[in-house]
Chain A
Amino acid sequence: DIVITQSPLSLSVTPGEPASISCTSSQSLLHSDGYNYLDWYLQKPGQPPQLLIYLGSNRASGVPDRFSGSGSGTHFTLKISRVEADDVGIYYCMQPLQTWKFGQGTKVEIK
């Protein structure tokens, strides 16, 4: 089974400052088709998760460009260039390559 590990598990950020979340996979998520099968979701309080980034680095429609995804193989990063109050919630990475697995989640709060 592929194990997904996120870090940190919590993050307190000053508005306007950047934030970064890491996601590490126990196996490569780079498929033979050239795509990295790693997605990022944000679950705001009291809401279902919403898609932010798919295939490692593609922003979903309507997602602000302050969000970016990078990485390949086993190491991935979600970056928020300037955190806003609306960005609070729990961020999950997820691999849909084998048995789909979510990371443990990273709780982001505003200082």
Chain B
Amino acid sequence: QVQLQESGPGLVKPSETLFITCTISGGSIGTYYWSWIRQPAGKGLEWIGRFYAGGSTSYNPSLKSRVTMSADKSKNQFFLKMSSVTAADTAVYYCAREAGAGQQQLLYWGQGTLATVSS
């Protein structure tokens, strides 16, 4: 069974860089598309971007200038890096995997990790 687990620093200072890891178990990172989604407390879901370990990425234009997604295939992990964070970036960050074989629906989700931006 595929399982995703996010991990991050918890607290980040304004203007610094947020780095979150998604560790994958029960499947290989190499043959699927992976997404990051975030959710501020009490609010809706925002798609951050989509990543394929072969090198293809697609980012939400509203965040594109500050976001980078990458992966370490040897560790079966993929990463979200978000620079110049502000309080507006405080949210639960989820990683998710698509169903595969050209199907984009997000079938597997991690439990999420809370990132708080505060001095």
Please determine whether chains A and B interact with each other in the same assembly. yes
Give which listed residue, B60, B107, B109, B110, contacts A60 with CB less than 8 A: B107
Listed A/B pairs (9) with beta-carbon separation below 8 Å: A37-B104, A48-B110, A49-B45, A49-B109, A54-B99, A99-B60, A101-B47, A102-B44, A105-B45
**Contact-residue size bin, chain B (C-beta under 8 Å from the other chain):** 20 to 34
Residues in B whose Cβ lies below 8 Å from that of A51: 105-107
Decide yes or no whether A50 CB sits under 8 A from chain B. yes
- Name A residues whose Cβ lies closer than 8 Å to a Cβ of B: 37, 39, 41, 43, 47-51, 54-55, 60, 92, 94, 96, 99-105
Within the complex, what minimum Cβ distance (angstroms) separates B5 from chain A? 11
Residues of A contacting B106 in the complex (Cβ-Cβ under 8 angstroms): 39, 41, 49, 51
Binding site for A on B (CB under 8 A): 35, 37, 44-47, 50, 60-61, 94, 96, 99, 103-107, 109-112
- B47, A99: Cβ atoms closer than 8 Å: yes
Q: Which A-B residue pairs are the 5 nearest by beta carbons?
A: A54-B105, A100-B47, A48-B109, A102-B45, A96-B104
> Are B109 and A92 in contact, with the CB atoms below 8 A?
no
Task: Please report the number of residue pairs spanning A and B whose Cβ atoms sit closer than 8 angstroms.
Answer: 51
A63 CB to nearest B CB, Å: 12
CB-defined contacts of A60 to chain B, threshold 8 Å: 105, 107
A48:B111 contact, CB within 8 angstroms:
yes
**Which single residue of chain B is at the shortest CB-CB distance from A43?**
B45
For the complex, what is the distance from the CA of A103 to the CA of B44, rounded to whole Å? Answer: 8
Given A48-B110, A50-B109, A101-B47, output 17 extra A-B contacts at Cβ < 8 Å.
A39-B106, A41-B45, A41-B106, A48-B111, A48-B112, A49-B106, A49-B109, A92-B45, A99-B47, A99-B60, A99-B61, A100-B47, A100-B50, A100-B60, A103-B44, A104-B44, A105-B45
